[in-house]
Amino acid sequence: MKILVIEDNVELLQDIQNFLEEEGNICEIAPNYKSAYDKIGFFPYDILIVDISLTDGNGLDIIRAVKRENIDAGIIIISAKNALEDKIHGLEIGADDYLTKPFYMTELNARIKALYRRKVYRGNREIFFNEIKIKPESYEVFVQDQLLNLTKKEFDIIHFFVVNKHRLLTKEAIAEHLWGDHIEMADSYKFIYTHLANLRKKIAKLGGNNYVQTIYSVGYKFTDRE
């Protein structure tokens, strides 16, 4: 998919670009309002990632322009402001999602993929990882075409893993994905650990491989690479 990232911090801009390109996307960048405005007028994008506070303008104006000119692109706001009004306002004028800084790249990735699936495939798209098949719209996971019996949180975990395959997922990133950033409990890490163990067992029972690698004290990786 084709993504435009609008963010005034060049370092962060490049980090996001690198990450998204590694994920196999075409990613263009705009460090300010003007270049962003020029780009959305000329090229079609699937997803726009918009920082609200830009040095030469407001990201919300870009969203308004996109909506005014009927450009069909999914919009994710990334903002340093963690204010509910900003979030509501952003979503009201037509943004699809709102992510508060600091965010994990893996979280941004999951949000982009979910948005893209909703927009382009109307949600009807299965995600494959070797013998594992995920149907996000019905919260179902199949291992070698057999339905895996999962709790809601277990589904969220495996979905998050598969979307961010081969990536390190820190336990903080997983906890944030599952509960939002206001949960800061040591218990949540234990919870993740226990549920991952359950998940492995359930997948193994249906003849699936164990793709979860534990990175010592840091987190996990879902990968079939060594």
Closer by beta carbon to another protein, 194 or else 210: 194
Sole residue written with tokens 């999602």? 97
Looking at beta carbons only, is 117 or 167 nearer to another protein? 167
Q: Does 198 bind another protein (CB under 8 A)?
A: no
**Pair 74, 48: CB distance under 8 Å:** yes
Number of residues that bind another protein (CB under 8 A): 43
CB of 216 to another protein, least distance (A): 6
| Tally: H helices and E strands in the chain | 8, 14
Does 188 help bind another protein (rule: CB under 8 A)?
Answer: yes
CA angle 199, 157, 137 (to 5 degrees): 110
Q: Indicate whether 127 belongs to the interface with another protein (CB under 8 A).
A: no
Q: Of residues 2, 21, 34, 82, which one binds another protein by CB under 8 A?
A: 82
Amino acid at 48: L
Residue 53 contacts residue 59 (beta carbons within 8 Å): yes
Nearest to 44 by CA among 8, 17, 4, 5: 4
197 interacts with another protein by CB under 8 A: no
> Binding of another protein at residue 147 (CB under 8 A)?
no
> Should residue 64 be labelled a site residue for another protein when binding is judged by CB under 8 A?
no
Minimum CB distance to another protein, residue 194 (Å): 7
